[in-house]
Amino acid sequence: MKNFTIFAAFSSFYKKVSSMRQYHSHRYRAIRLTVVSAILCWTCTDAAAQLPEKNPYEEHLIFWRYPNNYLENQARVAFATIDEVLQAYPPQKEPALPRKMALISLDQLLHDTHNDKSEPFYTFINTRLQRMLEDMDRPVKKGLRIYKLYNDGFIIRTKDATVAVDLTPGGTKEHPFIADSIIYRIAGHCDAMFVSHSHGDHANLDIAKAFASRGKLVIAPKGLWEGVDPMIQQLLVADTTVDVPFKELNMTLHILPGHQDDMYNNIYVMEFHRCGTVAHTGDQWNEDDLQWIDNVNKRYKIDVLLPNCWINSMERSLKGFGPKLIITGHENEMEHTIDHREAYWITMKKFERMQSLGIPNVLMTWGESYDYKR
Ligand SMILES: [Zn+2]
Ligand SMILES: [Zn+2]
């Protein structure tokens, strides 16, 4: 009824304007265009307003006039298939083509901002981290097991120790990427946590407090969380290396004074006795530090290096640490804009170009693990 009344009013106005045509043909055309566009615009808006908010045909897989609903369903199917492929082709030095394809497809989904903070994204990451949590009951008999978590978060396990580095849930406090019910249970499996620097994609005070409240040590860089809890300690007070024996974990921690620009960024060299040595670089990015990084390989025999995938002077830095294996971190940090959300394919390309280094790498994504034996 409403449509009819408004349409009748427009018709009558249109007729009146038509009678002016022989006198003012220019003005007539302009008015005619305005009236026609107004009618079209009104009809479309009215039609859109009549669409139900939720696509009633979704369960029949019909998405006409619901493009966002279509994209959401496509993402859900793609994430689930990627998850299946990654399980069938776990991390290895020379990944098979399906695994590479799955990682590149994941890059595509994670660089399509339709999927940022979307339900398919949350389901994907939480399904994987829940599976990882269950896997943490699997004993480590020999060597090292390295889990990759969100962003630059890693957990390293030996038969004697489970330590976390830069454990964060991502997202916001109200809406974390990894649900509290999962991340805090993962933290519960760990004996200690080492935090590289104060940026929010590496340092999470709530998680640090969860460690401290259970009497587990957290090591943070200078200036971060000082005085918060006696179990949260800043051991590096001058720009020299500090060695911390952890007898009960059968390991020694070496803290190296790195920087991200001018910010303190502890580089942790974790020496797990008779199991292997792992170094985590945090967000290392500083030209001056390259002078001493060149010689790290002379002081420590590093088995596995966990560098940020965009570390500055990558080839020189990797040579300086001189590890036997590299597992990069920090790909697809979802809080970054897509140009600085470094993709897995970029890491693949970098290593293709650095083949002359002769150091193998294993490219991993969220919730995966790799067993390293000397
Ligand atoms: Zn940072
Ligand atoms: Zn970072």
First to last CA, the chain: 80
| Higher pLDDT pick, 88 / 236 | 88
- pLDDT of residue 120 exceeding 80: yes
Is residue 224 helix, strand or coil? coil
Give the number of whichever ligand sits closest to the CA of residue 307.
2
pLDDT at 3 over 50: no
Ligand 2 centroid distance, CA of 218 (Å): 19
Cα(9) to centroid(ligand 1), Å: 63
Could you identify the residue written with the tokens 């994907």? Answer: 124
At residue 6, does pLDDT exceed 50? no
CB 368 within 8 A of CB 148: yes
Distance 152 CA to ligand 1 centre (A): 10
Topology at the third CATH level for domain 70-372: Metallo-beta-lactamase; Chain A (3.60.15)
State mean pLDDT over 81-90: 98
* Residue 265 neighbours by CB under 8 Å, 6+ apart: 196, 197, 221, 258, 259, 281, 282, 283, 284, 285, 286
Q: Which two structure tokens, joined as six digits, stand for 236? A: 């590096």
In the reported structure, the alpha carbon of residue 330 is separated from the centroid of ligand 2 by a whole-number distance in angstroms of 7
Interval between CA 151 and ligand 2 midpoint (Å): 8
Burial 337-351 (b: 16+ CB within 10 A, else e): eeeebbbbbebbebb
Ligand 2 centroid vs 171 CA: distance in angstroms?
13
According to the model, what pLDDT value does residue 1 have? 39
What's the pLDDT score for residue 239?
75
Q: Which residues contact 102 (CB under 8 A, 6 or more apart)?
A: 82, 85, 86, 89
The pLDDT, as a whole number, for residue 28 is: 52
Question: pLDDT tens digits, residue range 314-351?
Answer: 999 999 999 999 999 999 999 999 999 999 999 999 99
Measured in degrees and rounded to the nearest 5, phi and psi for residue 260 equal -110, 105
Indicate the pLDDT class of residue 46, thresholds 50, 70 and 90: low
**Which candidate, 304, 227, 233, 302, places its Cα nearest to that of 266?**
233
pLDDT tens, residue by residue, 153-168: 999 999 999 999 999 9
Cα of 108 from ligand 1 centre, angstroms:
24
Rounded Cα distance between 122 and 343, Å, is: 18
CA distance 172 to 177: 8
Spatial neighbors of 313 by CB under 8 A, at least 6 apart, are: 287, 290
Q: Is the pLDDT score of 286 beyond 70?
A: yes
Give pTM, 2 decimals: 0.86
Question: What is the CA(203)–ligand 2 centre distance, in A?
Answer: 9
Task: Tell me what pLDDT residue 44 has.
Answer: 45
- Residue appearing with tokens 């390259």: 290
Mean pLDDT, rounded, of the chain: 90
Q: List C-alpha distances in Å: 254 to 1, 76, 194, 302, 373.
A: 79, 43, 11, 12, 21
Band of pLDDT at residue 54, cut at 50, 70 and 90: very high
Q: Determine which of 49-53, 302-306, 310-314, 326-330 has the lowest per-residue pLDDT on average.
A: 49-53
pLDDT surpassing 50 at residue 146: yes
What is the number of the ligand closest to the CA of 260? 1
CA 12 / ligand 1 centre spacing (Å):
66
pLDDT in tens, 8-40: 444 454 455 444 444 445 555 555 555 555 554
How far does residue 51's CA lie from ligand 2's centre (Å)?
43
Looking at the chain, list the stretches that DSSP marks H as alpha helix, in order from N- to C-terminal side.
2-18, 25-50, 67-88, 97-110, 119-135, 180-188, 205-213, 290-293, 296-299, 314-321, 344-353
- 67-88 vs 119-135: helix crossing angle, rounded to 10: 20
- Give the three-class secondary structure for 83: helix
How far does residue 286's CA lie from ligand 1's centre (Å)?
A: 12
Task: Report CA(107)–ligand 2 centroid distance (Å).
Answer: 18
State the distance from the centre of ligand 1 to the C-alpha of 266, rounded, in angstroms.
Answer: 11
For the chain, what are the domain ranges? Answer: 2-50, 70-372
What mean pLDDT do residues 112-124 have? 96
pLDDT score of 349: 98
pLDDT digits (tens, 9 = 90+) for 224-279: 999 999 999 999 877 788 999 999 999 999 999 999 999 999 999 999 999 999 99
